[in-house]
C-alpha cells in the first residue's frame, strides 16, 4: 500500500503534470517563435479549463470510496472539487459560445481555477488516505 506522500506525488505527476504537457509544449513552442503573450494564447481556447475539471474530478474519485471518517473535512474538499468541475465546464461552454472572448480573462480565470483544482485535489488525496488507513 502506498503512503500518503507517494499517492499525492503519483497524482501530481500523472494527473496534473501529464495533463498539462500539451499546453506546456505549446507554450514552449510559442516562446521559441517569439510570439507575444504565449500564456494568453495557449489558454485562449479554454483547454486549461477542461484540464482543471479532469484534475479535480480525478481527485474526487480518490476521495469517494474512503469511508466516513472526518466527514466534514471530506465534504469540504469534495465540494471544492465539485465547484471546480462545475465552474470549469460551464465557463468552457461560455468561452466556446462567445463570438469574441476576452482572452486575458480566460487566462486569469484558468490559472485561478487550476490553483483551486490543485488545492482541492490535494485535500481530497490527503483525506482519502485517512479512510484507507482506518480500513486496513
Q: What is the DSSP string of 79-104?
A: HHHHHHHHHHHHHHHHHHH-SS--HH
Q: Is residue 135 pLDDT above 50, yes or no?
A: no
Residues of the domain holding 97: 4-135
102-120 per-position pLDDT tens digit:
999 999 999 999 999 999 9
5-42 per-position pLDDT tens digit:
999 999 999 999 999 999 999 999 999 999 998 999 99
The arithmetic mean of pLDDT across residues 74-87, rounded, is 96
pTM of the complete model:
0.89
Q: Is residue 67 pLDDT above 90, yes or no?
A: no
CA–CA gap between residue 16 and residue 33 (Å, rounded): 26
CB 87 within 8 Å of CB 34: no
Q: How close are the terminal C-alpha atoms of the chain, in Å? A: 10
Q: What is the dihedral of CA 40, 44, 49, 54, to 10 degrees?
A: -100
Number of domains observed in the structure of the chain: 1
CA–CA gap between residue 36 and residue 64 (Å, rounded): 43
Amino acid at each position: 500500500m502506498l503512503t500518503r506522500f507517494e499517492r499525492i506525488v503519483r497524482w501530481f505527476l500523472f494527473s496534473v503534470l501529464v495533463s498539462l504537457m500539451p499546453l506546456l509544449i505549446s507554450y514552449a513552442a510559442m516562446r521559441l517563435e517569439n510570439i507575444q503573450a504565449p500564456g494568453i494564447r495557449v489558454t485562449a481556447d479554454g483547454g486549461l479549463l477542461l484540464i482543471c475539471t479532469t484534475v479535480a474530478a480525478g481527485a474526487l474519485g480518490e476521495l469517494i470510496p474512503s469511508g466516513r471518517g472526518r466527514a466534514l473535512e471530506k465534504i469540504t474538499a469534495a465540494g471544492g472539487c465539485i465547484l471546480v468541475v462545475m465552474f470549469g465546464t460551464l465557463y468552457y461552454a461560455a468561452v466556446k459560445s462567445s463570438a469574441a472572448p476576452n482572452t486575458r480573462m480566460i487566462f486569469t480565470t484558468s490559472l485561478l481555477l487550476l490553483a483551486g483544482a490543485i488545492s482541492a485535489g490535494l485535500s481530497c488525496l490527503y483525506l482519502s488516505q485517512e479512510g484507507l488507513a482506518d480500513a486496513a
